[in-house]
């Protein structure tokens, strides 16, 4: 099934759960990875495996139990949405601000990741467009939004109805934007400081650590792809991944109607060196606010 070429991640074709090999191959190709069969898994112990189980594709980081998925109904995340504390979430406070609006705010989440912040914003009433540059993550987000839309749980369903996922590089997308401008652009580029944060004693949950480890693994792999491509070794590299938010804040400031909100680690430098008008600082995160009107 795999053509022998090395891939960072493999979709696992398992006849019990997947009936259509062609569909799995198409999906794998769309995400830039290869396909292996279930009985080949043991030969790929160091690779990331993407396995379908219990109605969704999940990412197995290695042969341990470290599994990453996008699932808004996961109780560890859902309690944040379901609680009265939603309005107290820093991301909600930073994006909504104090001004009352009659129309729901339109938000472009230009670094969607696992969609958690976007989902909190949608649950708080915003119309959110999620843009994610990693095709695999964008696909898992689309699937998670679709599952939530089919849910019998009204809270999940109504939030998901306010979410649209796009698989793209958001800097390019913002620079070429031709639709209605969003009220708010929200940015949470992957900070290079994740390890330093842990060293500085900033606590992250096990799930957040796993998600970050997965993102860092994919990003560093793609950075290697890119440097090889630049040296002329790999013509089939993926689109450039921009993990440091280069050019992002400028594009966001040019596009947003009301404000740009940037999530950073407390103590991290301002994105693009641009000083915000104000910041909301919590234990593990800081939200820098750039008002435009």
Ligand X SMILES: C[S@@+](CC[C@H](N)C(=O)[O-])C[C@H]1O[C@@H](n2cnc3c(N)ncnc32)[C@H](O)[C@@H]1O
C-beta of 120: minimal distance to ligand X in Å? 8
Q: To the nearest whole angstrom, how small is the minimum distance from the Cβ of residue 130 to ligand X?
A: 9
The CA distance from 108 to 130, in Å, is: 6
Q: Which is nearer to ligand X, 36 or 123 (CB)?
A: 123
Output the smallest distance, CB 143 to ligand X, in A. Answer: 15
Query: Minimum Å distance from CB 67 to ligand X?
Result: 16
Looking at beta carbons only, is 1 or 194 nearer to ligand X? 194
* DSSP 8-state symbol, 162: T
Residue 34 makes CB contacts below 8 A (sequence gap 6+) with 1, 2, 3, 5, 7, 10, 11, 28
Do the beta carbons of residue 47 and residue 10 sit within 8 Å? yes
Residue where the block lists tokens 């139990």: 65
Q: What share of the chain is helix, strand, coil (3-state, %, to 5)?
A: 40, 20, 40
Nearer to ligand X, 132 or 197 (CB): 132
The residue with its CB nearest to ligand X is 113
**What is the closest distance, in whole angstroms, from the C-beta atom of residue 110 to ligand X in the complex?**
6
Nearer to ligand X, 18 or 242 (CB): 242
Interface with ligand X (CB under 6 A) = 111, 113-117, 131-134, 137, 169-171, 188-190, 215, 242-243
Smallest gap from Cβ 151 to ligand X, in A, equals 19
Closest approach of ligand X to the CB of residue 244, in Å: 8
Question: Is the Cα torsion angle 158, 163, 164, 167 positive or negative in sign?
Answer: negative
259-264 and 286-291: which strand pairing?
antiparallel
**Complex with ligand X: residue 18 or 263, whichever CB lies closer:** 263
| 134 versus 255: smaller Cβ distance to ligand X | 134
Structure tokens at 258: 């009301």
Query: ∠ CA(131), CA(137), CA(142), 5° rounding?
Result: 70
d(CA 123, CA 202): 27
Taking the least distance from each CB to ligand X, the nearer of 41 and 155 is: 155
Q: What is the DSSP string of 107-153?
A: EEESS-TTSHHHHHHHHTT-EEEEEESSHHHHHHHHHHHHHHHT-S-
> Phi and psi of 44, rounded to 5°?
-120, 50
Least Cβ distance, residue 119 to ligand X (angstroms):
8
For ligand X, give the closer residue by CB, 36 or 215: 215
């Amino acid at each position: 099934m795999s053509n022998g070429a090395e891939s960072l991640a493999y979709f696992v074709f398992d006849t019990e759960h997947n009936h259509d090999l062609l569909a799995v191959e198409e999906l794998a190709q769309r995400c830039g990875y290869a396909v292996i069969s279930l009985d080949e898994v043991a030969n790929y112990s160091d690779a990331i495996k993407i396995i379908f189980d219990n109605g969704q594709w999940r990412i197995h980081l290695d042969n341990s139990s470290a599994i990453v998925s996008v699932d808004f109904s996961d109780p560890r995340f859902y309690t944040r949405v379901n609680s009265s504390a939603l309005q107290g979430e820093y991301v909600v406070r930073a994006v909504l601000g104090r001004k009352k609006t009659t129309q729901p705010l339109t938000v472009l989440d230009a670094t969607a990741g696992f969609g958690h912040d976007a989902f909190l914003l949608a649950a708080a009433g915003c119309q959110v467009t999620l843009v994610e540059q990693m095709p695999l993550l964008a696909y898992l987000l689309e699937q998670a939004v679709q599952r939530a839309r089919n849910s019998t749980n009204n809270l999940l369903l109504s939030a998901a109805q306010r979410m649209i996922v796009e698989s793209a590089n958001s800097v390019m997308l913002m620079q070429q934007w031709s639709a209605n401008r969003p009220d708010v652009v929200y940015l949470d580029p992957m900070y290079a400081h994740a390890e330093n944060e842990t060293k500085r004693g900033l606590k992250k949950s096990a799930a957040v650590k796993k998600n970050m480890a997965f993102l860092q693994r994919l990003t560093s792999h793609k950075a290697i792809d890119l440097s090889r491509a630049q040296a002329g070794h790999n013509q089939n590299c993926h689109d450039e991944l921009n993990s440091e938010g280069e050019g992002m804040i400028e594009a966001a400031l040019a596009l947003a109607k009301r404000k740009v909100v940037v999530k950073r680690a407390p103590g991290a430098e301002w994105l693009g060196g641009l000083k915000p008008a104000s910041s909301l600082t919590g234990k593990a995160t800081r939200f820098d606010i750039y008002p435009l009107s």
